[in-house]
Structures are given as C-alpha cells and as structure tokens.
Amino acid sequence: MSAKLDRLKKVLRIVVGARLRTLIEDRGELTAEVAAADYFEVARILRDHADLKFEQLIDLTGLDYSTHADAARARGKRFATVLHLLSYAHNWRLRLRTFAEDNAFPVLNSICELWPAANWYEREAFDLLGIVYRGHEDLRRILTDYGFEGHPLRKDFPVSGYVEMRYDAEAGRVLYQPVTIEPRENTPRIVREASYGGSAHG
Amino acid sequence: MAETEIRNYTLNFGPQHPAAHGVLRMVLELDGEVVERVDPHIGLLHRGTEKLAEARTWVQSVPYMDRLDYVSMMCNEHAYCLAVEKLLGVDVPERAQYIRVMMDEVTRILNHLMGIGSHAFDIGAMTMILYTFREREDLMDVYEAVSGARLHSAYYRPGGVYRDLPETMPKYQPNRFKNEKTVAKLNEAREGSLLDFLADFTNRFPKCCDDYETLLTENRIWKQRTVGVGVVSPERALALGFTGPMLRGSNIAWDLRKKQPYEVYDRVDFDIPVGKNGDCYDRYLVRMAEMRQSNEIIRQCIAWLREHPGPVITDNLKVAPPKREKMKAGMEELIHHFKLFSEGIHVPPGEVYAAIEHPKGEFGVYAVSDGANKPYRIKLRAPGFAHMAAMDELARGHMLADVTALMGTLDLVFGDVDR
C-alpha cells in the first residue's frame, strides 16, 4: 500500500506542483492542502488528470478549528472544507483540505460542477457550519428544522441548542420556546501530555 | 373547441407515508402523472449524532452508531471502531476479526432481507415481507444471543468485540399457545452453541433464497414495475457518488471487501455480483446474489471460529477494560478500569477516514482527534445520503407510481440519511 501512496505523492507533486500547500502522509492516508483560490482548479485536475483520475467524491464536510488543541496548524483560519476522493481506476484515496479565508463569512467555490454528488454535501456543510459555497445553485438548509437559526456544528453552538419545541394544548399547536435544559458535562474534555500514564506501565 | 389549460401541480409526499421508509417528505412536481421534479426534504430524523459525539468519550459514541442505519447496526459500529483503532494503532485479535466479518455478513443478510422485502411490499407483493421477516427473526436471535439486544447491540468495541460467542442459544418455552411438541421442534436447532444455530441457518437459507426468487425473479408484475425503471449509467453512478449495490447494479465491479480489504476479508472466498443495465431489477438481482455470497462467507467463518479459540478483544488496557476477575484482584487493573470508564480512551492527535462495505454502500467515518478523550470532529459518510440526493435525477420523467419503486431500490433508512 505504501508503494502506491509514494506513487500518488509523486504524481501529485508533479501535476499539482506549487499549488500544494502541504502534503502529509499519516497512518496510511494522504492529506493535501490547497489555498482557497486554487481549490476549484486543483479539484478539476484531480478529477480529470489521467494519472490521478479521482472519479468519485466520496465525502465533503466542513470543520471548525476554533477550539482545536493544535490551533496553530490552522494559521488563524477557522473553517475548512475537507474532501474525500476515491479513484476507481487507480484504487487510491486522497483527502483535500481547504481553509476559507474569512472567519466571519467563510466562502469557498462550489464543486458541484465537477461532482454532482457535492450538491447535498455542500448544502449540509452550509447548514451545519455556515460555510457558503459560491456558485451553488440551491444552497438551502438541509438537515435542520424549517426556520432554524445558527449552525450547530460550530464549536460555539451549545449541544442542547437555543430553542425547544413542545405541544401546547391550549393553543392547539406546537410552540417554540427557549431551552430549559441545564447545560452539563459528564466527562470533562482533557488533553493529556504525551507521556501521561506512561506506556511503560502497560 | 375551447383551449384547455394544463398546469403542473405539486404533490406533497410524506413525511408520514408507508412507502417513505421512515420520515421523508418529498415535494413532487407533476405534469399529469409524470414526475417533473422531486425535492426531497430530509432531516426529519436528524438527531445531531456528529455533534453529540463531540461531547462524549470515544467509547460512549459506539451505541449512537447503532441508531444511524437501524437495520444494519453492527456495520455502523464496525466503521466507527475501525476509525478509532486506526487512530490508536491498536491491533485486533484474529478471532475478533473473524467474529466481526461473520456478524457483518449476518447484518448484510438482515439488511437485504429488509430491503427486498419492503421494496416488494411497497409495489404490491405482500408475501415477500412475511417471508423475509421470518428469516430475519432467526438472525435477530443471533444478534440477541451475542449482544443481549435485538437491534442496538453495541457489540463491537475499539480493539475487538465485547465478548466471545455464547455456548448456548436461548430456547422457546411451552406456553398456552405452544405445547411441548411444537416447542421441541422449534428448539431443534437451538440445542447447541450459537455457531451450531448459525450453521443450521446457513444450510436452510439457500432454499429460502430460492423461494424469494420463485416469487419475484420471473414474476411478470415485479418485472413490469422494476425493469427499465431508474436506469443509471456507470459514469453517472460514479459522478453521483453511488456506492454498494447501487454502483454494482450499474455494472461496476467495486467492492471494498475485495478492493481495499479490511479485517480478514482477504482470507474468505466470495464473488462480487454485478448488474448489467443499472435499473431497479438489476439492483434487486445484485442484492439477491449478495445474500447468497454472504451465506457462504458466514459458513467459512463458522468453520474457522470452531477451530480457533482465543481472545476477542485487545489486551491493551489503555483501550479495552481488563477482565473482571483481574480487576477485582489487582490494583493496576483497577486503576485502568476506573480511568477507562471515567475519563475514557486518550486518542493521539490526527485524522483518519475508515470505510467499510456496508450493506447499503460505502459507510465511512472521518474522525479527527486533537489528543483529547473525546473526538474533535466525527463525520459520518452515510451511503443513503448520496443515494437520496440522486432521487431527483432518477425520478424525472417517470410515473408517480415509480417513485415508490425508486424509494425501494435506493434501500433508504432515514437513520443514516439524516444522522
């Protein structure tokens, strides 16, 4: 498998060249990072170039790096879109990450034109993270409720949300009201230092 | 003669419709009886699994995976556990790998029985669902015997499976509806271990498949409803992100179990069935053939598992809990047990994508860790989501009644479309 990854790495270096910001191999997977300006063009090359041939967009998702322990990696940028591509001809996978330039209003080019499958994935990323895809024809919310406000997968959005819904017998209809759940955390989130617990203790 | 004006009209399908396989609302734009446009409104079953996973430790999210695609529970867990194991770099004992493969194939049969049964039921062949649910019942008993739960099993854990296969099967008891004689007959296959019960099932199952095929494969009504409906070309299937039987129905021999083998799939022998025309009928045939293949895989796994006892979960105490007796007697084990169940596993920073050949297609888990005891981000790549997205393209130009046939062939479960 690793010989194959080396070959893919080599092809990427030649074909995509300077537009690759980083190319990392980790746990048998390859992650490429490109600038937002090059995103669409690189995606097109990945799909069309005979030595790459990523025919299928397996997955497209967004990430919010604002509370990541290793935030320095994101270089102050908050939102990224991550593509998982699969080539049937060569049987290899690639992860492509692009950070949106603006943290307050993240915008990236839409890749629906290249892979029609991106349509709903981009709608989902827009819905859950608020990333706007320029050129998307139908960028509506998809998973959340009609009239929902906010983007739930952003790190500053509480798990319990802001509104709750109940049936009101007097009004004879469903009502929205502010949440009444007390926020609680059963297990705190902890990042330990690398030597914690010591593997020597097995 | 006065000119009559014909207008398109809009029809609301669902959210509560028996053929919607759960909660789906579709806004159909019709020209007479011909579908012009479909706008599926999904998300009515959205429970925010990805957000919830960020607030829980790695192990606590395993049961949430059962609730995604709630007709192929263990496969969802499998992808999640693979992702965590890949991040941790933990090895899974060989016996656990075989158990996982066997249970995955049991799950595949469960899923396809449900898929084909309800597909046929939706377009008028009511007997099918009664037949398939009869066999599903036996496999549900297998689920119950290994994990204690019929549906939401939480059986796979990072590092292996929760416990070894049981030596006994639960038995029927006589009651006022079933006398001793009936019960004795029902319990015939249940006298031995779980593997004996499953071996008996694999002997019976090909005959059951033959029964389904006599009902459907050459059935004129079934063919009229499915042949040539929802045709997808191979190129289009790739562009639309189709995976699994939806892709193989369009004549692309792609199966992750063969092409990117995980666990011990490279050591079992099976074929990849493919369709030719990419219509609903071919996809039905693919699913039918896959069940027979799964049956063979189960048989091979049973033979291996009978010969090779051993551990079923890793002995790495940072990942899996220690044995109960050891925990009661040893300080070291007690500490590990406590830390594991209070704080959880610490997963080294990094990101992985683990995919398996789920009965519906490629089910992937993209897990990002920043080194904490909880995931930083979990993205679940559900096959049904991509298939549902293609509904508009598939249904255009078809009759209203074909929408139901298409819903059936997509094999949708809203637990995994909406997450």
Domains of chain A: 3-142 (3.30.460.80)
Comparing CA positions, the residue from A112, A86, A115, A80 lying closest to residue A98 is A80
Beta-bridge mates of residue A167:
A174
Per the prediction, chain B carries an average pLDDT of 89
Q: Which regions of A27-120 does DSSP assign to beta strands (E)?
A: 29-34, 56-64, 79-87, 92-99, 107-109
Q: What is the pLDDT of residue B2?
A: 65
Residues B46, A144: C-beta atoms closer than 8 Å:
yes
pLDDT in tens, A77-115: 889 999 999 998 888 899 999 998 888 899 999 999 899
pLDDT greater than 50 at residue A201: no
Residues B57, A197: C-beta atoms closer than 8 Å:
no
pLDDT in tens, B138-182: 999 999 999 988 889 889 999 999 888 999 888 888 889 988 899
- Of the partner residues A56, A63, A124, the one whose CB lies closest to the CB of residue B377: A63
- Pairwise CA distance, residues B252 & B275, whole Å: 8
pLDDT band at A120, cuts 50/70/90?
Answer: very high
pLDDT in tens, A148-178: 888 999 988 988 889 998 999 998 999 999 9
Average pLDDT over residues B91-105: 93
Residues A159, B52: C-beta atoms closer than 8 Å:
yes
Q: Count interface pairs A-B at CB distance under 8 A.
A: 126
Position B362, amino acid: E
ipTM surpasses 0.85: yes
Residues B364, A55: C-beta atoms closer than 8 Å:
no
Preferred mutation among B68, B84, B88, B351 to probe A, highest tally of A CBs within 10 A: B351
Residues 6+ apart with CB under 8 A from A77: A65, A99, A100, A101, A103
- Pairwise CA distance, residues B12 & B39, whole Å: 10
- Pairwise CA distance, residues B76 & B304, whole Å: 24
What does residue A182 show for φ and ψ, rounded to 5 degrees?
-75, 130
